[in-house]
Structure 1
Amino acid sequence: MTHTRRLAAIVAAILVVAVMGGYAVGTAAALGDASLPGSVRADDIDDLGDEIDGYQDQIDQTQAERDAAQRRADELSHALENTDARIVEADAKLRDLNEQLPALQEALEIANQKVEAAVVQQGIVADKLAAAEAQDQAISDQIAADEERTADLEALVAAIARETYKGDDATASLDIVFGATDARSFVDEYTAQQSASRVQSNTLAELDEIAAVNRNRGTRQEAVREYIAELKIEADALVVELEGLRDIAQEKKDDVQALLDRQEELRQYLESQRATFLAQQEENERLQQQLRNRVLDLVQKKADSEEALKAAREAAAQQGGKLNDGYLSFPTKVPYKTSSFGMRVHPIYGYARLHAGTDLRAYCGTPIYASASGTVQWATWQAGYGNQVLIDHGYVGGKSLITNYNHLSRFAVSSGQTVARGDLVGYSGNTGSSTACHLHFEVYVNGNVVDPESLLPSFP
């Protein structure tokens, strides 16, 4: 708008000249002297009017194109900002999931180890239980065999007792003596009776021994069965514990799988946005450059006029100086660089682009100052840059110098305003494609972006 007003001023000056020229022509004709100085012909005035109309058409067309480009840039900037926010959010979530994954995998591994340990312990208890039950069965078998042996021995004792005690002892003894037909018969009968007595005695002793052994076996079997009962309780508890551990392990596995699924979902989303995002970035940068170029074209058209060029040269001659380190002042009171001019790699998609300025730490609302004296070309919203102040510092050492101040929260100057070095131009913010409050400071020499540090003092 400033350039339009300046062109309008030039046109107005031409009109004044034309009107004054027409007045001079009229006066000269009235006096009958057509050769008076400053007189012009009617044809010259018509030609000048046509030229003025042509300038106005160019101005109107340029203004319309600028407005349309600004609208498209604003729309694209808003769309890009929303897309970028979603992409950044998705990438942040993906990074967070990447950090969570090792812990979840470790928890799953621990849960699986506990399951495996419980399975091993369950196997050990099962083996102990099988051995104890086998021991119990063996004891039962031994007791059953002894009971059968005891029955046989008791039957033998009963038989001996019946034979031995058919009569009383005295009668039995007399029968042996008087019933014997000879000495040999006596000895055999007596020997048989003594053998039966010994068998009976031995059988009774064996019965006593079996009874004692079985009593010990019964005690041992009772202890074995108590042990079996304990093992069964432990085995039942292990079944419950193992089921719980398996449930926990499954939950951990589900957690890991859900995280992996979410990771894949985010990766697919980020990949699906790659082409669109890069295309939007390129279009946004193109519109920004186009807008700058058109504005600079307007400035150049003004500079092409003889009077404007003469004034610029005179101003440059008076101003003098050279563009070198320290010519510009820091735009913040406490300069602290957070990012330098140069190529920057996108942290998500990895593409390289030019970071066309120097970023300075400037917390939200920090005052921002003019780096040199000049004229505010505009203080307005620019696509990607947010609220921007652009200052034309004229010519220094015969070179055009322009600075701009970006992502401002609000302005302290307006278009067309003259500012001195160190004057307040606005306050830092987070507008445009910025992700945090800071100042993005750019410098143009002869319309080309340069490293601001080449004209700033050394950072403290």
Structure 2
Amino acid sequence: MTTTTPTGVLRPGRRLWAVLAALFAVALCLAALPGASPAHADDLDDQRRAAEKKQRENDKELEQLEHDLEEISEDLADAVIALKKIEQKLPDAQAALADAQAAYAKAKREVKALEDRLEAQERTETGLVERIEEDEARSVEVRANVGALARQAMKGDLSTSSLAIMLDAADPQEYVQQSGLVTTALRSQTQLLDQLAQTDAANRNAKVRLEAVRERIAELRADAVVKQKEANEHRKKAQARGVEVRTLIDDQKAKTAFIQSRKDEMEAKEEQLKRDRESLESDLKEIIKKQKARDKKKKDKKAGPVGSGIFQNPSSYNPMYITSMYGWRQHPVLGYPRLHAGIDLRAYCGVKILAGRKGEVVWAKYRSGYGNQVLVDHGEINGNYVMSSYNHLQGFNVSAGQKVSGGDVVGYSGSTGTSTACHLHFEVYINGATVDPYPYL
């Protein structure tokens, strides 16, 4: 019979079609992606696949946890599931906080670097302004000196010829002195003109540089405003991430404290479930003992293999969907191993639950943690006594002693007993002991 496991993987017959459909869906998604460079696209694909894989793992973990908690009170189960969700979210939230803090620290460093460069440019600007003012003052002074020399020349003080100086001189020594003074004055005039030209050229260069520096200052100030805005945004994100992490940690502590406060209750329920299991096994052994006494006149037959596929789907869904398998698992809170003695099948509240094989109803009654239970005796199969039970039912459709055939309605799905949601808990017993029902379906 085709069945579906908790992860949704179909058994042979449908698995190939499911794989092909999944590959086709992935191909369509990839074809619809916008164009990007191969390396960038590969990185994005890897990130997407990693995120999707993690989400699937988290969902599967939560689904399994929900089934493991079916024997715990609803408020406690909700707390355990909430705690698990917190534990799943917390690493990502902490990583996001670290990223936000790193981005904020980087933005602050960039703002500081811009401020340092801006300060350096402003110092350069101040220096250039002071230099230009000094050069302009010097230029004014030089121009005044040049003007004075020019006025003297116009009056003739500097234009006297060498012959006039010689004729006016009282003696040769005076001639030399007068001639030297005129030469020095002319040289000074030339030097002042050269100095004026150099000062004006340096001043023009300084003004050009000053303009460039002021443009750079304006750019740095604009960049600093933008970068400061970015830093503020990163700071807000870091603060928000910090609040999220602190809230998760506070919730984690509160849920953990609540769960620990109910530990005694959970241990008591586990003990009750253990007693329920022992009571059921005792009843089954008593039934088998009576069956053997009834069949004592028959020739003893050595037990052989029961065979696979002796039960049909007991749920109303085709294919049936198994939400929790048979086997040992760790208690989600108490931490010690316990046996899940059957399989859980998807069965929403009120749907029909079917007999998996012909037999006789041993009882249809409430049995503590099992809730409303129907036990069906299927008689002897190759020397083995085989029975099955249908648990947590909402209501019965059969009664003790009634004969049923495979597919007959024995009851309706519910959530009675230690169950937190409607489903069918199906158990199979061979010679009074529970076995994994899956191979027999």
Aligned: 1:352 with 2:337:
yes
Aligned: 1:196 with 2:185:
yes
1:212-223 map, 5 Å: 212-223=201-212
1:236-315 map, 5 Å: 236-286=225-275, 313=293
Measured in 2, the distance between the counterparts of 1:402 and 1:341 equals 16
Q: Structure 2: which amino acid aligns with 1:419?
A: K
Whether the 8 Å CA contact 2:307–2:440 is kept in 1: the answer is no
- One of 92, 95, 111 as aligned partner of 1:106: 95
Aligned: 1:211 with 2:211:
no
Aligned match of 2:424: 438
How far did residue 402 of structure 1 move?
Answer: 6.4
Whether the 8 Å CA contact 2:325–2:343 is kept in 1: the answer is yes
Measured in 1, the distance between the counterparts of 2:192 and 2:100 equals 64
Whether the 8 Å CA contact 1:343–1:352 is kept in 2: the answer is yes
Whether the 8 Å CA contact 1:104–1:252 is kept in 2: the answer is yes
Whether the 8 Å CA contact 1:370–1:425 is kept in 2: the answer is no
Q: Structure 2: which amino acid aligns with 1:441?
A: E
Whether the 8 Å CA contact 1:320–1:397 is kept in 2: the answer is no
Cα deviation, 1:132-157, whole Å, max 9, x if unaligned, reads 12222222232233334334434543
Whether the 8 Å CA contact 2:139–2:199 is kept in 1: the answer is yes
How far did residue 203 of structure 1 move?
Answer: 0.8
Which runs of 5 or more residues in structure 2 are unaligned?
Answer: 1-68
Q: Structure 2: which amino acid aligns with 1:217?
A: A
Aligned match of 2:23: none
Q: Structure 2: which amino acid aligns with 1:378?
A: W
1:31-110 map, 5 Å: 83-110=72-99
Aligned match of 1:15: none
Q: Structure 2: which amino acid aligns with 1:412?
A: N
Which region of structure 1 is more displaced relative to structure 2, 99-108 or 267-276?
A: 99-108
The structure-2 alpha-carbon separation of the partners of 1:315 and 1:199, relative to structure 1 and needing over 3 Å to count, comes to closer
Aligned: 1:317 with 2:297:
yes
Measured in 2, the distance between the counterparts of 1:457 and 1:253 equals 48
Aligned: 1:136 with 2:125:
yes
Q: Structure 2: which amino acid aligns with 1:345?
A: Q
- One of 396, 410, 434 as aligned partner of 1:411: 396
Q: Structure 2: which amino acid aligns with 1:349?
A: L
Q: Structure 2: which amino acid aligns with 1:197?
A: L
The structure-2 alpha-carbon separation of the partners of 1:333 and 1:99, relative to structure 1 and needing over 3 Å to count, comes to closer
- One of 408, 416, 419 as aligned partner of 1:424: 408
Measured in 1, the distance between the counterparts of 2:305 and 2:189 equals 131
Aligned: 1:180 with 2:158:
no
Cα deviation, 1:135-194, whole Å, max 9, x if unaligned, reads 222222322333343344345435544655544777777752432113342233123212
1:18-33 map, 5 Å: none
Q: Structure 2: which amino acid aligns with 1:368?
A: L
Measured in 2, the distance between the counterparts of 1:233 and 1:400 equals 87
Alpha-carbon RMSD across the aligned residues, in angstroms, is: 4.2
Measured in 1, the distance between the counterparts of 2:235 and 2:293 equals 86
Which region of structure 1 is more displaced relative to structure 2, 215-224 or 319-328?
A: 319-328
How far did residue 219 of structure 1 move?
Answer: 1.5
How far did residue 334 of structure 1 move?
Answer: 7.3
Whether the 8 Å CA contact 1:412–1:425 is kept in 2: the answer is yes
Whether the 8 Å CA contact 1:345–1:353 is kept in 2: the answer is yes
Whether the 8 Å CA contact 1:362–1:439 is kept in 2: the answer is no
Measured in 2, the distance between the counterparts of 1:260 and 1:427 equals 45
The structure-2 alpha-carbon separation of the partners of 1:391 and 1:124, relative to structure 1 and needing over 3 Å to count, comes to closer
Measured in 1, the distance between the counterparts of 2:125 and 2:89 equals 53
How far did residue 252 of structure 1 move?
Answer: 1.4
Which runs of 5 or more residues in structure 1 are unaligned?
Answer: 1-79, 304-308
Measured in 2, the distance between the counterparts of 1:458 and 1:241 equals 62
Q: Structure 2: which amino acid aligns with 1:443?
A: Y
The structure-2 alpha-carbon separation of the partners of 1:218 and 1:359, relative to structure 1 and needing over 3 Å to count, comes to closer
The structure-2 alpha-carbon separation of the partners of 1:223 and 1:457, relative to structure 1 and needing over 3 Å to count, comes to closer
Q: Which has the higher helix share?
A: 1
Measured in 2, the distance between the counterparts of 1:457 and 1:210 equals 102
Measured in 1, the distance between the counterparts of 2:252 and 2:165 equals 110
Which region of structure 1 is more displaced relative to structure 2, 164-173 or 226-235?
A: 164-173
Aligned match of 2:42: none
How far did residue 427 of structure 1 move?
Answer: 3.8
- The TM-score with structure 2 as length reference comes to 0.67
The structure-2 alpha-carbon separation of the partners of 1:152 and 1:442, relative to structure 1 and needing over 3 Å to count, comes to same
The structure-2 alpha-carbon separation of the partners of 1:319 and 1:262, relative to structure 1 and needing over 3 Å to count, comes to farther
Whether the 8 Å CA contact 2:312–2:407 is kept in 1: the answer is no
Whether the 8 Å CA contact 2:378–2:386 is kept in 1: the answer is yes
- One of 216, 220, 235 as aligned partner of 1:227: 216
Identity among equivalent positions (%) equals 28
Question: If you compute each CA radius of gyration, which structure gives the higher value, 1 or 2?
Answer: 1
Which region of structure 1 is more displaced relative to structure 2, 362-371 or 270-279?
A: 362-371
Aligned match of 1:459: 440
How far did residue 421 of structure 1 move?
Answer: 6.2
- One of 356, 359, 368 as aligned partner of 2:354: 368
Whether the 8 Å CA contact 1:176–1:186 is kept in 2: the answer is yes
Matched residues, number: 364
Measured in 1, the distance between the counterparts of 2:105 and 2:149 equals 65
Aligned match of 1:332: 312
Q: Structure 1: which amino acid aligns with 2:343?
A: D
Which region of structure 1 is more displaced relative to structure 2, 314-323 or 237-246?
A: 314-323
Measured in 2, the distance between the counterparts of 1:368 and 1:444 equals 20
Measured in 1, the distance between the counterparts of 2:342 and 2:329 equals 12
